Amino acid sequence: MTAAIWGNLGSILILIQFLLNIRFRGHSKLEEDQFVRLAQDSFNNVVTYLEPYGLQESKVAPGDRNSYITDLRKSIKKKNEFYLFIKGEIEFKLFKLLDLPTEKRIDKFLAYSFAYVTGYDKVFKYFLFTERFVKLFSRKKTIYHYFSIPGWRVLKYKELLKEVDEIKKVNPLWNEKYKFKDVKDFETKHPVITKTIDTVLRKGKISEKTIFNLASSEKILIVHKYAEGFSSIYKAQRQKNDDLRSKIRRAESRNASKKIAKLKAELRELQESWVTGPISTVLERYGFQKLFNHMEGVYVYPLSLIPEKYHDNHELFISEEIINEAESYLKQLQKQEVVREYFEGGLKYLILSHVVSINKITIFSKERNLEISSPILSRMLLTSYLAKEDSKISNLYINDLVRNIDFLYLVNPESKTGKYLHDNFEFLKELLWRDYSTDIFKPISLIQLSETQVSQICDKLLGNDSSIQKRFLVKMLCEKIDFYKTLDSELNTLKSKSGKS
């Protein structure tokens, strides 16, 4: 391609970038001291991300950290004493300031994959747009090539430089399209995908901070609920719970089996009938989640999941759906002895509520991680993101995080068979690739294996390590393959609704 064509293409891309910046300008707006704190936090995140790739801070960012922050401040737009930027822009500019290797565009991969892994999808969407042009009009390595490398997340950068030459054609999985519908009923309609998402979140392959970044266009309804007047009931229940546990310990020390059984039955009955405040109970029944474990009375819920008629009037939702149901629930509670004894009058509460756009939330942290108390909330936010109408980026997450969930994530290492597979994983990986052209890093491909082949694989594994019985090994491998078959079936159902690209 001639220099003139490349020059024109570059001008077009710069124009597009400018228009994107106009579109998202003001996404974040910070004063000087706030911006500096965020920049320092971003610097830490970037260098921490690079370390597993074999790039230490001393190598990529020699010298004083403050000098990078100073250069960064000069490169960010500023208006009326406020810094204006889209989420992910600070980190992207930091990557450009670092001394990264440039061979085979590895520096681009590092910056672009960071945006992907951390959920800065507006920035990543722009990266994908530019990479399509590079892929179409040159033979240079693109992020699509790097993403097609098996296990790209866990390889050192020098290994990636070797592996990327073997990728002649990008993985077709990146072009598959899915469309999630009816997010509220998603769990019942797609239980295996739901389980997979939960596994991905639990194992930390996608962080809670990333969830917030991905769901930045979502709005959340926050309800602060106080003063239901149930503190005396809680105290009485906790006291009875402690008394029963103490009596059980004393009975166990005397080996009084009949007494133990009776006391445990009382304890179980107490726990099963445990009384909580009417409004708290109704909120949790509806799906509201505590934002943090130690923040009593603060509940959150994605606004998109409440009935559409309340989206512009969440106050009416609280009065009609929450308060009315809480009134009815209190009448049921008043039949219980502990409520009759320790609670007087009708429903009591003090409620503060507001709707917040996630893109208005800026997270600062130091020596603390963002830990949302409920994985259910993380799942709801991630599923809401995956269900967006514009699903170009969400399809990548489905393929990378859901469709190709790591095989070992599903194997419990505490069981004897699970420990065997963990211990022999490297041999299994080599065996599958050498004899069956199956890539364990793309475990959805395991569904191609027949029962006969599974039996053969187990024989070969046991030839290397015979410390377990074959039937247990066959059973576990078949169970995991069945899981991937069901997962593939659910994903194909979603794919058939939207069609392929």
Q: Which residues pair with 355 in a beta bridge?
A: 221
> What is the spatial distance between Cα 423 and Cα 282, in angstroms, rounded to a whole number?
47
In this structure, the answer to whether residues 458 and 315 fall within a common structural domain is: no
For residue 270, tell me if it sits in a domain: no
Amino acid identity for residue 343 in this structure: F
Tokens coding 389: 């109408």
How far is Cα of residue 99 from the mean position of the Cα atoms in its chain? 30
Give the residue among 177, 206, 118 at the shortest CA–CA distance from 390: 177
Q: Is residue 294 part of a domain?
A: yes
d(CA 440, CA 91): 32
CB 281 within 8 A of CB 270: no
Residues 423 and 378 in one domain: no
CA distances from 101 to 121, 220, 481 (A): 24, 41, 40
* Alpha-carbon gap, residue 429 to 418, rounded angstroms: 15
Write the pLDDT tens digit of every residue in 305-339: 888 899 999 999 999 999 999 999 899 888 888 88
Dihedral, CA atoms, 11, 14, 15, 16, nearest 10 degrees?
120
Taking a C-beta distance cutoff of 8 angstroms, is the pair 238, 222 a contact?
no
**Would residue 391 count as lying in a domain?**
no
| 187 domain-assigned | no
What domain range includes position 368? 219-230+275-385
User: Nearest Cα to 11, choosing from 139, 130, 96, 115?
Assistant: 130
For residues 363 and 420, state if they share a domain: no
- Structure tokens of 482? 């069945």
d(CA 385, CA 407): 25
Statement to judge: residues 311 and 426 lie in one domain: no
Tell me, yes or no, whether 141 lies in a domain.
Answer: yes
> What is the pLDDT at residue 9?
53
pLDDT at 402: 86
The phi, psi pair for 276, rounded to 5°, reads: -120, 160
Residue at which a domain ends, from 385, 420, 443: 385
Can you point out the beta strands (E) in 335-459?
350-357
| 8 A C-beta contact, residue 182 and residue 386 | no
Residue 25: per-residue pLDDT = 45
Burial of 342 (0-12, 13-18, 19+ CB in 10 A): middle
| SS3 track for 191-244 | HHHHHHHHHHHHCCCCCHHHHHHHCCCCEEEEEEEECCCCHHHHHHHHHHHHHH
Q: What does the alpha-carbon distance between residue 319 and residue 486 come to, in Å, rounded to a whole number?
A: 41
Same domain flag for 78 and 165: yes
Looking at the domain assignment, is residue 394 inside a domain? no
Angle between helices 106-117 and 32-50 (to 10 degrees): 120
CA distance 142 to 361: 32
Place of tokens 């390595």: 141
Q: pLDDT under 50 in the chain at which residues?
A: 1-7, 10-11, 14-15, 18-19, 21-26, 498-501
CB 474 within 8 A of CB 466: no
> Which of 323, 356, 385 is the last residue in one of the domains?
385
Give a yes or no: residue 207 inside a domain. Answer: no
Strands 28-30 and 219-226: unpaired
C-alpha angle with apex 112: 433 to 13, nearest 5 degrees?
125
Residues 336 and 473 in one domain: no
Residue 15, pLDDT score: 46
Number of domains in the chain: 3
Torsion from C-alpha of 320, 322, 326, 327, nearest 10 degrees? -20
Give the model's pLDDT for residue 341.
82
Asked if 445 and 439 count as a contact pair (C-beta separation under 8 A), the reply is yes
184 is a domain residue = no
Count, residues in the chain = 501
- CA-closest candidate to residue 499, choices 179, 101, 247, 149: 179
The answer on 447 and 365 residing in a single domain is no
For the chain, the C-alpha Rg in angstroms (whole number) is 27
In terms of domains, do 7 and 147 share one? yes
Instruction: Give the pLDDT confidence score for residue 17 in this predicted structure.
Output: 52
Co-location of 371 and 412 in the same domain: no
Same domain, 342 and 416: no
Asked which of 325, 354, 385 is the last residue of a domain, the reply is 385
Residues 373 and 432 placed together within one structural domain of the fold: no
**Whether 288 contacts 223, CB under 8 Å:** yes
How confident is the model at residue 218, as a pLDDT?
86
CA distances from 235 to 227, 275, 474 (A): 15, 11, 52
Rounded-to-integer distance, Cα 248 and Cα 245, Å: 5
User: What pLDDT, on the 0 to 100 scale, is given for residue 63?
Assistant: 82
Q: What is the pLDDT of residue 498?
A: 46
Between CA 107 and CA 102 the distance in angstroms is: 5
DSSP assignment string, 22-39: HHHTTSEEE-HHHHHHHH
Q: Other CB atoms closer than 10 Å to residue 392's CB: what's the count?
A: 13
Q: Please state whether beta strands 219-226 and 350-357 pair in parallel, antiparallel, or not at all (unpaired).
A: antiparallel
Same domain flag for 422 and 282: no
**C-alpha atoms less than 13 angstroms from C-alpha of 180 in its C-beta half-sphere:** 25
Q: Name the nearest CA neighbour of 366 among 36, 10, 17, 53.
A: 36
Joined together, the tokens standing for residue 151 give 């296990």
